Structure 1
Amino acid sequence: MKQYKMICFGEVLWDMLPTGKMPGGAPMNVGFHLNKFDFQTSIISRIGTDDLGNEILSFMNKSGLNTEFVQRGQTHLTGVVKVNLDDSNEVSYKIVQPVAWDYIKVDPKVLDSVKKCDAFVFGTLAARSEETLHTLKEYLKIAPFKVLDVNLRPPYYNQETLSYLLDKADVVKMNHHELEEISAWYFEATSTNQRIEMLSKTFDIPTICVTLGADGALLFTKGKFTQCSGIPVEVVDTIGSGDSFLAALIKGLIQKQDETECLNFACATGAYVATQKGATPIISETQIKAWAKP
């Protein structure tokens, strides 16, 4: 069986919850779950030389992630995000800036790995800073299969940068609120399907996946739509639910699974993680499939 190699680029940080801190950052969360799905996964990020940096590096290493591309710096602290859980279904975030991951530098030693990886996963939040965006652009020039994870966190995005990232992506994942906001920048549309089709055409994106909250998700690929209904669960919190969904979706797309099977598994994964505390509960493909059986 082919050993796939994944690279996740962007923020690595601590989610500061009322109950304590938990490791996070969308790219790291996606990488964590890809690794649990038996994909070799490397993280490209930057953390401080502070205690929080030491702790999160230890967590990633113990989780089986390859951290050789995680940079350390003394000038800026390891990233933190203050998480508000007043509404478990709509988590809000206060993201500290500037922090270490705003200064990810181009590393010549990384270039060959980026060229040879099976999927290069990146998000919109890391593009908020000039230096990290410059580095991301250099890697996007050579990455063979690019997966964009849209996370619109005001005020850390703009139309110009997002247009650039959309134009480079082979796969884009976003939620339905983000789809409405982004599509309104470029065209008028009356339905979710129409917005997806027009966005795909505008930026020549082969695959777009839109999560619909409790209503599941919609996948557009090969010119056709596939929909998965939501799985009713008792939500503990939604932190990392979308990230685990994306990891499962990437797994299915890379392994060329049937679209319905791929999307159903991704929805089940995201739903299960929403029943757990935090973004990185340990899961497996066998466990998710057994849990999701009717």
Structure 2
Amino acid sequence: MTNKKINVACFGEVLWDTFVDGNRRAGGAPFNVAYHLSKMGVEAYMISSIGDDRLGAELLEKIRNWNISTAGIQISDQFPTSQVLATMDENNEAQYEIVEGVAWDYIEALPQDKAKVSTMDALVFGTLAARNERSRNTLLELVEKSPFNVFDINLRPPHYDVTLIKQLLHKTQLAKFNKAELRLILDFLGKSYQDEVDSIRFIQDTFGIMEVIVSKGSKGALYVCKDAIYNYPTIPITVKDTVGSGDSFLAGFISKRLEKNSTAQEIMSNAVSLGAFITAQQGACPDYSLTDFLSFSDQNQVNPIKMDY
């Protein structure tokens, strides 16, 4: 999709999502983003940790088979590979039981990863992997090295810290929220909710963030850049499941946002299209080709509504 190869580092959890039917799928929000970035032609560099165990070996093999670099994935001989119990509710929304004391809670700040991040086009991270002090300190070192920080808020109660969220938002160039997270952040800041535009302005002014995305599920998404706000409708599809849909949306956004001279229309069309394309399939990381996605995208054009800023 680009002439110059885009390079993006993703920091945080790599794990197995284990479902009640016994099926197991590779997952973790930042890893899902890395997977879809790779599908979009971006060079993805995953920084995480797995256990020195059978599940870790299987995860590493799968990641290699997907042609994603494993150079940033550490192997722990003290902590196990993460498994998360995932269940689906009546609305096809995923619910997760996230066990603590796993390998990605203890990601080390390695010199080679810090050097790598300083040369990348962006660093993507969330809140979950910062629940433990070791990985939290590593993340804080990495955001100082990165030229463009992408904060996918991705709150998983009770695994987040308000003080840390504020600290990371001050270091962020692009922030992504869903509607519930936007309201929750406003509550943390003691700000009453008026409307989406007022909320986004407040967060931008408070933390100096130039770009904000708000994903709204079936109601589309908002993108704020510089002095404009764009409201994008969703693409009508039959929902297979919603696991990883927000991660694919973000990957679609980043892959186009980091291309030179991309317009807001092109960026968000790519994001909304990829989110819909993945939601119509089973799992967060289904097998597909770039050609498959582009065919879907061409048939489902998204037109924005520009709003008053």
Given the alignment of the two structures, is residue 32 of structure 1 paired with residue 41 of structure 2, yes or no?
A: no
| Deviation per residue, 1:140-167 (Å, 9 max, x gap) | 1111111111111110012101101111
TM-score, L = length of structure 1:
0.97
What CA distance in whole angstroms lies between the structure 1 residues aligned with 2:291 and 2:270? 11
Instruction: Tell me what 1:249 maps to.
Output: 253
State which of 97, 101, 104 in structure 2 corresponds to 1:98.
101
- Give the deviation of 1:189 after TM superposition: 3.1
Task: Name the amino acid aligned to 2:276.
Answer: A
Q: Which runs of 4+ in 1 moved over 6 A?
A: none
- In structure 2, the residue matched to 1:235 is 239
1:67, distance to aligned residue in structure 2 (A): 0.7
Write the letter of the residue equivalent to 2:213. Answer: C
DSSP-derived class of the 1:168 partner: coil
Question: Which of residues 190, 194, 200 is equivalent to 1:196?
Answer: 200
Map of 2:307 onto structure 1: none
SS at match of 2:223: strand
1:88-124 CA-to-partner distances (Å, cap 9, x unmatched) read 4421111011100000011012222111001111111
2:282 corresponds to 1:277: yes
| C-alpha RMSD of matched pairs (Å) | 1.2
Q: Work out which of the residue numbers 209, 219, 230 in structure 1 matches 2:213.
A: 209
> What is the TM-score of this pair, normalised by structure 2?
0.92
The answer to whether the Cα contact below 8 Å between 2:17 and 2:25 also exists between their aligned partners in 1 is yes
Structure 1 residue 126: deviation in Å? 0.6
Deviates more, 1:84-93 or 1:166-175: 84-93
Question: How is 1:147-166 mapped onto 2 (pairs within 5 angstroms)?
Answer: 147-166=150-169
Report the Cα offset of residue 284 of structure 1.
4.2
Q: Which moved more, 1:251-260 or 1:64-73?
A: 251-260
- Matched letter for residue 227 of structure 1: N
Q: Does 1:9 align with 2:14?
A: no
Q: Tell me the amino acid that sits aligned with residue 192 of structure 2.
A: E
Instruction: Mark the runs of 5 or more structure 1 residues left unpaired by the alignment.
Output: none
- Cα distance in 2 for partners of 1:218, 1:142 equals 29
Partner of 2:305: none
Return the alpha-carbon distance in structure 1 between the equivalents of residues 296 and 94 of structure 2: 25
The 1-side partners of 2:45 and 2:78 are apart by: 24
Alignment match, 2:304: none
Partners in 2 of 1:235 and 1:173 — Cα distance?
A: 22
Where in structure 2 are the equivalents of 1:160-179 lying within 5 Å?
160-179=163-182
Alignment of 1:71-90 (within 5 A): 71-90=74-93
Q: 1:259 maps to which residue? A: 264
CA-to-partner distance for each residue in 1:42-101, whole Å, 9 max, x for gaps?
Answer: 110000011110011111111111111110012111011111112344211110111000
Whole-Å separation in 2 of the counterparts to 1:172 and 1:122:
10
Aligned residues: 294
Partner in structure 1 of residue 128 of structure 2: 125
Aligned-residue sequence identity (percent) comes to: 38
Q: What are the ranges of 5 or more consecutive residues in structure 2 without an aligned counterpart?
A: 301-309
Question: Displacement, 1:223?
Answer: 2.1
8 Å contact kept, 1:233–1:275: yes
Equivalent pair of 1:227/1:260 in contact (CA under 8 Å): no
Verify the 8 A CA contact 1:119 1:145 in the aligned structure 2: yes
3-state DSSP of counterpart to 1:273? helix
Q: Aligned equivalents of 1:164 and 1:157: distance in 2?
A: 12
Distance 1:283 1:197 in 2: 37
Instruction: State how far apart, in whole Å, the 2-side matches of 1:87 and 1:42 are.
Output: 35
